[in-house]
Structure 1
């Protein structure tokens, strides 16, 4: 697939076989990801250590129409504006030398839920991020801290969830938000 020409090569047998395999294979994505992380922990070059951190980010892509799951009008950082698109919350582990993904989950805008933002199934991006960070810790990757940009600094739920999971954090603050620190 890497050597296939976008228009001409996409219809070639090798590319079509790979597309069929990826789209039609029956597998549990969480099991595949858990195994990938297990192998990463075993290798000296990628094993988590005390100098590493979990980084949280979200990434959006513009989408036309409404047929794709999770589509809605929302902030798309890549475009620097609100537009129709999908957003995925992602955690990565890094020590400044090595960086690799841990978990990812799409954000589903409130209008997809029967009761909107008050629906029990609805999750904000900070809530998803806190859950993914806790999964990273459970998988053995939380070490020094969880880091996030200022988009997460406005969510008290995010702070409370990380504290409940006993995860230290570093987050950029928006200028209007006060700062504090524990005595210890």
Structure 2
């Protein structure tokens, strides 16, 4: 079975951890699938993977479509391996990041879940499959934990009223709960789309910290310096009030951006609540753009850890980009968005096998200098 020029013993060592998840025949196919994910393709497909490993296409198709193996067992085994290794185990300075990603499928007509919806990588609507994912992120490392396919309401009879339908927030809640049982993390971070009252309240009740950002249409219930009463204020009005009435309380905060450079921004911090949300919140208003490419002239970050400094809130929120790096690596290196299976459970299988092939998973058994050879060469 040695179809690679190098590194086969190390790769096989990693794969043997999953032997209990498969029968002998399934294990042989599982090994070939992982091998195939390290091959360079112009466009990946099951047919291309079969040819790369000199395997019959029907065997690949059957493994993804009809072969009976437990994807949850694979997920559990992978996390157990990661947590046992010193270099990959979660650390106290890390957070659970939650976000979704899209896989464009503009010509898909029969692919389950591929509907006209917002596609994050394209920053616009497109026919795509969407998955809600969770990742561990810290200043020194990031790795994907899990991803669950999202099925739009149109896929169900009676749409959102169908009890089987789960919106993205419900999937995020499930990820939060499952990760809480397997990984020790102090808090979670997510973008403004997930900063709903439903999600914030649940995280707070579970005794976890959250770091997020609010959209420009959210109402903040706070003291109005002109009206002299507590009322709801929109973010745009808040920024105007800060500049006019609280300019003496604006503070410069210096922090590192996602590219490692240091920047300094004007900030204003205060405690208040969001409309229709009883969670006490610390708000950190950043008066300025993140960078020259930013479309927004300000950002309002939130946390339920009221004693956090503005710098801590900003630094922890920026860890959110770690999950974006996870998605990018899976797509650029392991063809996460290249699949030719139609049913959502088959797509789920493909996504999770790709996630299994990520650098962080393989670093559990491979030396760091070997990991730089991201692609193994087929003979």
- Structure 2 CA distance for aligned equivalents of residues 138 and 95 of structure 1: 19
> CA, structure 1 residues 15+56, in 2 after alignment: closer, same or farther (shift >3 Å)?
farther
What residue in structure 2 maps to residue 122 of structure 1?
165
Which of 129, 132, 135 matches 2:178?
Answer: 135
CA contact (8 A) 1:52 1:94 kept: yes
SS in 1 for 2:55: helix
Q: Which has the higher contact order (CA 8 A, sep 6+)?
A: 2
- Structure 2 CA distance for aligned equivalents of residues 3 and 46 of structure 1: 24
What residue in structure 2 maps to residue 152 of structure 1?
194
What residue in structure 1 maps to residue 53 of structure 2?
14
Q: Return 5+ residue gaps in structure 1 as ranges.
A: none
Which of 44, 62, 72 matches 1:30?
Answer: 72
> CA, structure 1 residues 14+130, in 2 after alignment: closer, same or farther (shift >3 Å)?
same
Aligned-pair CA distance for 1:49 = 2.5
Moved more, 66-75 or 105-114: 66-75
Question: TM-score, with normalisation over the residues of structure 1?
Answer: 0.85
CA contact (8 A) 2:98 2:134 kept: yes
Q: Does 1:46 align with 2:91?
A: no
CA offset digits 1:125-178 (Å, max 9, x no partner): 12211210111111124x22110011112x222223323433321111112323
What residue in structure 2 maps to residue 167 of structure 1?
208
Taking only aligned residues, the RMSD between alpha carbons, in angstroms, comes to 2.5
Aligned-pair CA distance for 1:102 = 0.9
- Structure 2 CA distance for aligned equivalents of residues 3 and 152 of structure 1: 36
CA contact (8 A) 1:4 1:15 kept: no
- Structure 2 CA distance for aligned equivalents of residues 152 and 168 of structure 1: 14
> CA, structure 1 residues 4+85, in 2 after alignment: closer, same or farther (shift >3 Å)?
closer
- Structure 2 CA distance for aligned equivalents of residues 159 and 50 of structure 1: 21
Question: TM-score, with normalisation over the residues of structure 2?
Answer: 0.44
- Structure 1 CA distance for aligned equivalents of residues 52 and 121 of structure 2: 34
Aligned-pair CA distance for 1:25 = 4.6
- Structure 1 CA distance for aligned equivalents of residues 194 and 54 of structure 2: 40
CA contact (8 A) 2:39 2:52 kept: no
What does residue range 86-105 of structure 1 map to in structure 2 within 5 Å? 86-105=129-148
Q: Return 5+ residue gaps in structure 2 as ranges.
A: 1-35, 221-271, 274-280, 282-303, 308-379
CA contact (8 A) 1:58 1:87 kept: yes
Corresponding pairs, count: 181
More helix by share: 2
